[in-house]
């Protein structure tokens, strides 16, 4: 049986608000986006690796480290209000039309998770191949639990546990295990992406790939750059 083609997408818009030029800000001597592109290249199982961006500066760095930039993302898909799936659908449609190729498996890697391991990319991919879900997305064990120590406040101002069951959990260890989506790795079935009801990575037929907290660390603030460089300096993580 012929192996299904794999497309890796890396979405990086130019107008980051929290940190100016975040996607090309230097982290341990390389632009932030370079770390994700190099992971994709090192993994070695993708047929093509593309970057969707509206920024010539980001495009230049992505190409320098091994990604293709076959188009520039239109402005209506580069704002804060634009959903990730719309960006992916656009990238896949334009790229398939340009190349005449078809990619049944799409892996989306987030630029702001530079510590993810190549093993995590491979694990999510192999899980997708074995279970054949609509999507696989990476998660980490949640520190808070809606069955135990997360609450909702009603209209009268009274709080109650967010996830109610007939059993009252008195210890977090006894509560059902829950996970945080960490946005590091997403794997999509092409058929799901182009389904008219595809609005989220969470579906009735989705699987999760579990990552450790450090591997899934997400850069969102200035101090996060400094924290990762500290971890690298101490030999706790590798980039």
Q: What's the whole-number mean pLDDT along residues 162-173?
A: 88
- Dihedral (C-alpha) 14, 15, 18, 21: value to the nearest 10 degrees? 40
Please write the tens of the pLDDT for every residue from 83-96.
Answer: 899 999 999 999 99
Q: pLDDT at residue 71 above 90?
A: yes
pLDDT for residue 121 is more than 90: yes
pTM score, two decimals?
Answer: 0.93
**118 class by beta-carbon count within 10 Å (0-12 exposed, 13-18 middle, 19+ buried):** middle
**Hey, what CATH class is 6-141+178-233 in?**
alpha beta
Cβ atoms of 209 and 125 within 8 Å: the answer is: no
> How far are the Cα atoms of 10, 35, 40, 105, 218 from residue 110, in angstroms, in the given order?
6, 10, 11, 16, 9
Of 36, 70, 69, 74, nearest in space to 54 by CA:
74
Measured CA to CA, the distance from residue 137 to residue 98 in angstroms comes to 28
- The per-residue pLDDT for 1 is 63
Token pair in block for residue 182: 């960490």
CATH 3.90.550.10 domain position(s) in the chain: 6-141+178-233
Beta-carbon contacts of 132 under 8 Å, excluding residues fewer than 6 positions away, are 189
* 13-57 confidence digits (pLDDT tens): 987 777 889 999 999 999 999 999 999 999 999 999 999 999 999
Tokens of 31: 């632009």
pLDDT at 197 over 90: no
């Amino acid at each position: 049986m012929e192996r299904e083609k794999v497309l890796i997408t890396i979405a990086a818009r130019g107008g980051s608000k929290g940190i100016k030029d975040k996607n090309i800000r230097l982290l341990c001597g390389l632009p932030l986006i370079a770390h994700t592109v190099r992971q994709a290249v090192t993994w070695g199982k993708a047929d093509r690796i593309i970057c969707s961006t509206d920024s010539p500066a980001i495009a230049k760095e992505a190409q320098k480290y091994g990604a293709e930039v076959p188009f520039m993302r239109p402005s209506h898909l580069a704002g804060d209000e634009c959903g990730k799936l719309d960006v992916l659908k656009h990238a896949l449609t334009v790229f398939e039309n340009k190349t005449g190729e078809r990619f049944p498996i799409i892996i989306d890697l987030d630029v702001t998770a530079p510590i993810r391991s190549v093993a995590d990319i491979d694990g999510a991919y192999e899980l997708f191949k074995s279970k054949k879900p609509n999507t696989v997305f990476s998660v980490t064990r949640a520190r808070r639990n809606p069955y135990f120590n997360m609450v909702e406040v009603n209209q009268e101002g009274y709080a109650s546990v967010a996830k109610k069951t007939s059993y009252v959990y008195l210890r977090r260890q006894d509560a059902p295990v829950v996970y945080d989506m960490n946005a590091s790795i997403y794997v999509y079935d092409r058929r799901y992406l182009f389904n008219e009801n595809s609005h989220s990575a969470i579906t009735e037929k989705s699987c999760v790939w579990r990552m450790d907290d450090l591997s899934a660390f997400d850069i969102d603030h200035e101090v996060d750059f400094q924290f990762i460089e500290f971890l690298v300096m101490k030999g706790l993580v590798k980039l």
